[in-house]
Amino acid sequence: MDRVTRRAFTVAALSTLAAAGDATAARGRPGPVAGTTPRPRPAGGTAHRPAAGGAPDPRPLTGARGGRAVTEMRGMWLATVANHDFPSRTGLSAARQRRELTALLDAAVRHRLNTVILQVRPTADALWPSPHEPWSEYLTGTQGRDPGWDPLGTAVREAHARGLQLHAWFNPYRIALHADPARLAASHPARRHPDWVVRHGGKLYYDPGLPEVRAFVQRAMLDAVERYPVDGVHFDDYFYPYPVAGQSFDDDVSYDRHGGGFPSRAAWRRDNVDRLVRETAAGVRRVRPGTRFGISPFGVWRNASTDPRGSDTRAGVQTYDDLYADTRTWVRKGWIDYVVPQLYWSIGFAAADYATLVDWWARVARGSRTRLYVGEALYKAGDAAQGAAWRNPGELSRHLTLAGARPEVRGHVYFSAGQVASDPAGALARVVADHYRRPAHAPR
pLDDT (tens digit, 9 = 90+) per residue, 115-167? 999 999 999 999 999 999 999 999 999 999 999 999 999 999 999 999 999 99
pLDDT (tens digit, 9 = 90+) per residue, 367-419? 999 999 999 999 999 999 999 999 999 999 999 999 999 999 999 999 999 99
CB 374 within 8 A of CB 413: yes
- C-alpha distances (whole Å) from 216 to each of 118, 223, 241, 272, 422 are 21, 11, 19, 14, 38
CB 107 within 8 A of CB 159: no
Per-residue model confidence (pLDDT) at position 67:
52
Beta bridge partners of 198: 205
Contacts of 101 (CB under 8 A, 6+ apart): 86, 87, 151, 154, 155, 158
Confidence of residue 265 (pLDDT cuts 50, 70, 90): very high
Per-residue model confidence (pLDDT) at position 281:
98
Q: Any alpha helices (H) in 28-150, and if so which ranges? A: 33-36, 94-110, 137-140
CB 232 within 8 A of CB 159: no
pLDDT at residue 37 above 90? no
CA neighbor of 47 nearest in space, from 5, 109, 3:
109
pLDDT (tens digit, 9 = 90+) per residue, 131-141? 999 999 999 99
- C-alpha distances (whole Å) from 249 to each of 241, 269, 278 are 8, 11, 23
pLDDT at residue 244 above 60? yes
How far, in Å, CA of 318 to CA of 298, rounded? 8
Which letter does DSSP use for residue 217 in this model?
Answer: H
pTM (predicted TM-score): 0.88
pLDDT at residue 52 above 60? no
